[in-house]
């Protein structure tokens, strides 16, 4: 026997009761909605087509909207700076007891050994210690320069330490990445630099083939063209120069390779060896300790960590020569560095290189670049922080081709006398070196001046090569603070409370300014109230501190207000 389904019929009393409950619920919902006034937003009608000066009104509305976004961005950067300052103060306070404990343990020699072992390999002090090891053990020091900005890659402290060290140490300049600058510019720099130190033109290999890489390629059945990335020029000239010098010394020589980050130190060693022996990468500070590579029985090469740029350098120099990665550094510092780079470039060449329209300032350049590359935040706002990181990575890497002109008047540094120049050139055949350099320059294709960006160099970069002069930054490296920060601690701690009060007042003022701007930028109706116009005039008088004015005329009583923004 089949089971019958339950009937859905209800008694009238129960059905009427359910309907009554539903009506009461709907009545309650309507009452709550009326209380909170959740009204449906009215659609913006826009500016009528028949309205005069329609294009000007739309342009003014767009300008006001852009100004509002710029103001918000400036306030955001100010908040980030204040937050970074507070974080540094907290780090100093937390590090104070650790310093006291370390000072108490200095008396015992065992504690000294432990503190040395506790230094991180990524710390600046560790980098300086390894760099000094290379300088002390080397008979010949190769200072690697980026051909795009050779003067900015020179470190006077390093050159002075080598030339004044005694012991018959030699210093050679290696002009790397010559394939990224015009041919005439390379020749000018070779003529300029050879008057101070022997200079070798070089083009290192970006990618070196090794057994592991070949196995990976064959397993994936992919075709990788190494013809361009694995080509290198100038290695025979440099190798012959070192071997001839070793024969004059009648002993095996050690050659140290030094320089600032991303100039191609490890790539030069790989090119001299003919295979990949040192790790290379686009990130800064890949080499963290001294590495030894045997070229032959008489020549040994020492790879070193990068030179630490002194914090007293300009923002432009720190952006290009700092060992900190753009992703790991403060966004405000990255923006400041990119602004300095753009301000020192040819504007028209930057526009052609990035294929963007004309811009007024670096902030607008980053905004246009972010829009073109699709770097947008919530609401379609351009992400200028990521755009700045991208630009800085292109300039420190090998993607952007730019060049600098050598100084018109050559004045050697004070530590480089004529006697020192003669000592550095002794033992090298300069005539053969000049011939080999000309062959190297003619061996490969150079970019034209029109396809490269003219750049204004900031001059030599001051570096820190002694461990006791290193200034560790807690926000970037997370290590022990230095004596300089201890001196500033007393003054900054006194001003901390005042800074917090001022910061709160600034935020309140900024919020009032934003509210005033948004009130004016919102679309309104055609009719205006005279009382509203008086309130707007009073608000405009209070907001005159802003860099732009959005005042509305208060004497007009027209039926349609053309100053009202419709976006």
One DSSP character per residue, 108-153 reads SHHHHHHHHHHS-TTSHHHHHHHHHHHHHH-SEEEEEEETTSTGGG
Inter-residue contact 21 to 27 (CB < 8 Å): no
Q: Pairing mode, if any, of strands 308-309 and 299-303? A: unpaired
Inter-residue contact 289 to 124 (CB < 8 Å): no
Q: What mean pLDDT do residues 475-482 have?
A: 38
Residue 35 pLDDT greater than 90, yes or no: no
Write down the CATH number for the domain with range 315-402: 1.10.1580.10
Measured between alpha carbons, how far is 376 from 91 in angstroms, rounded to an integer? 33
Token pair recorded at residue 79: 């908040």
Lowest mean pLDDT among 36-40, 51-55, 102-106, 527-531: 527-531
Token pair recorded at residue 380: 């379609």
> Which residues does residue 172 pair with via DSSP β-bridges, in sequence order?
142
pTM as predicted: 0.59
Token pair recorded at residue 537: 């005039």
> Rg of the chain's alpha carbons, rounded to an integer?
33
Pick left, alpha or beta for residue 311 (phi over 0 → left; psi -120 to 50 → alpha; otherwise beta). alpha
Considering only residues 37 and 215, tell me which one the structure prediction assigns the higher pLDDT.
Answer: 37
Residue 211 pLDDT greater than 50, yes or no: no
Which superfamily does CATH assign the domain made up of 119-208+227-311+407-454 to?
P-loop containing nucleotide triphosphate hydrolases (3.40.50.300)
CATH 1.10.1580.10-classified regions of the chain:
315-402
pLDDT of residue 484: 40
Contact residues for 196 (Cβ-Cβ < 8 A; gap 6+): 412, 416, 421
pLDDT of residue 512: 54
Pick left, alpha or beta for residue 527 (phi over 0 → left; psi -120 to 50 → alpha; otherwise beta). beta
- Of the candidates 258, 268, 269, the residue with the CA atom closest to the CA atom of residue 305: 258
Q: What mean pLDDT do residues 155-160 have?
A: 90
Residue 514 pLDDT greater than 60, yes or no: no
Each residue's pLDDT tens digit, 314-331: 888 888 887 666 655 667
Long-range Cβ pairs for the range 79-88 (8 Å, 24+): 79/507, 80/330, 80/331, 80/332, 81/332, 82/499, 82/503, 84/330, 84/332, 84/475, 85/499, 87/475, 88/474, 88/475
Considering only residues 286 and 267, tell me which one the structure prediction assigns the higher pLDDT.
Answer: 267
Measured between alpha carbons, how far is 155 from 456 in angstroms, rounded to an integer? 18
CA 290 to chain centroid, in Å, comes to: 26
- Of the candidates 342, 348, 346, the residue with the CA atom closest to the CA atom of residue 366: 342
Q: What mean pLDDT do residues 1-26 have?
A: 90
CATH 3.40.50.300-classified regions of the chain:
119-208+227-311+407-454
């Amino acid at each position: 026997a089949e089971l019958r389904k339950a009937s859905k019929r209800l008694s009238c009393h129960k059905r009427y009761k359910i309907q009554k409950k539903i009506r009461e619920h709907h009545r309650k919902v309507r009452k709550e909605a009326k209380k909170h006034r959740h009204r449906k937003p009215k659609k913006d009608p826009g500016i009528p087509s028949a309205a005069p000066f329609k294009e000007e009104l739309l342009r003014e509305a767009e300008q006001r909207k852009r100004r509002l976004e710029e103001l918000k961005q400036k306030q955001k950067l100010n908040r980030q700076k204040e937050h970074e300052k507070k974080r540094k103060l907290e780090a100093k306070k937390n590090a104070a007891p650790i310093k006291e404990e370390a000072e108490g343990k200095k008396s015992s020699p065992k504690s000294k050994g432990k503190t040395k072992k506790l230094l991180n390999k990524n710390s600046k002090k560790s980098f300086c210690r390894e760099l000094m090891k290379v300088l002390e053990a080397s008979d010949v020091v190769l200072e690697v320069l980026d051909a795009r900005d050779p003067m900015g890659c020179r470190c006077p402290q390093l050159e002075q330490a080598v030339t004044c060290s005694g012991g018959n140490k030699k210093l050679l300049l290696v002009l790397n990445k010559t394939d990224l600058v015009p041919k005439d510019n390379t020749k000018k720099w070779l003529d300029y630099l050879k008057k101070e130190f022997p200079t070798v033109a070089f083009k290192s290999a970006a990618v070196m083939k090794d057994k592991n890489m070949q196995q990976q390629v064959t397993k994936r059945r992919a075709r990788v063209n190494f013809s361009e990335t694995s080509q290198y020029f100038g290695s025979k000239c440099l190798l012959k120069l070192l071997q001839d010098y070793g024969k004059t010394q009648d002993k095996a020589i050690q050659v140290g390779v030094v320089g600032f980050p991303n100039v191609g130190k490890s790539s030069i060693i790989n090119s001299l060896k003919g295979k990949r022996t040192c790790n290379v990468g686009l990130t800064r500070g890949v080499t963290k300790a001294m590495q030894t590579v045997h070229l032959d029985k008489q020549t040994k090469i020492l790879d070193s960590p990068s030179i630490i740029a002194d914090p007293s350098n300009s923002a432009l120099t720190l952006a290009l020569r700092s060992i900190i990665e753009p992703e790991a550094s403060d966004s405000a510092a990255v923006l400041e560095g990119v602004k300095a780079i753009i301000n020192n470039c040819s504007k028209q060449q930057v526009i052609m290189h990035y294929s963007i329209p004309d811009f007024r300032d670096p902030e607008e350049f980053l905004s246009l670049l972010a829009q073109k590359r699709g770097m947008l935040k919530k609401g379609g706002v351009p992400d200028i922080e990521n755009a700045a990181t991208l630009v800085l990575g292109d300039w420190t890497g090998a993607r952007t081709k730019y060049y600098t002109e050598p100084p018109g008047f050559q004045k050697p540094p004070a530590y480089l006398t004529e006697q020192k120049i003669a000592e550095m050139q002794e033992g090298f055949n300069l005539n053969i070196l000049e011939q080999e350099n000309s062959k190297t320059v003619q061996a490969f294709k150079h970019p034209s001046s029109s396809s490269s960006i003219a750049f204004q160099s900031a001059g030599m970069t001051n570096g820190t090569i002694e461990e006791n002069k290193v200034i560790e930054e807690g926000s970037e490296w997370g290590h022990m603070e230095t004596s300089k920060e201890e001196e500033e601690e007393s003054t900054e701690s006194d001003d901390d409370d005042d800074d917090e009060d001022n910061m709160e007042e600034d935020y309140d003022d900024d919020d009032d300014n934003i509210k005033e701007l948004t009130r004016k930028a919102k679309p309104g109706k055609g009719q205006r109230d005279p009382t509203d116009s008086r309130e707007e005039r009073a608000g405009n008088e209070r907001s005159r501190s802003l860099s732009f004015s959005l005042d509305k005329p208060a004497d007009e009583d027209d039926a349609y207000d053309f100053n009202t923004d419709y976006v």
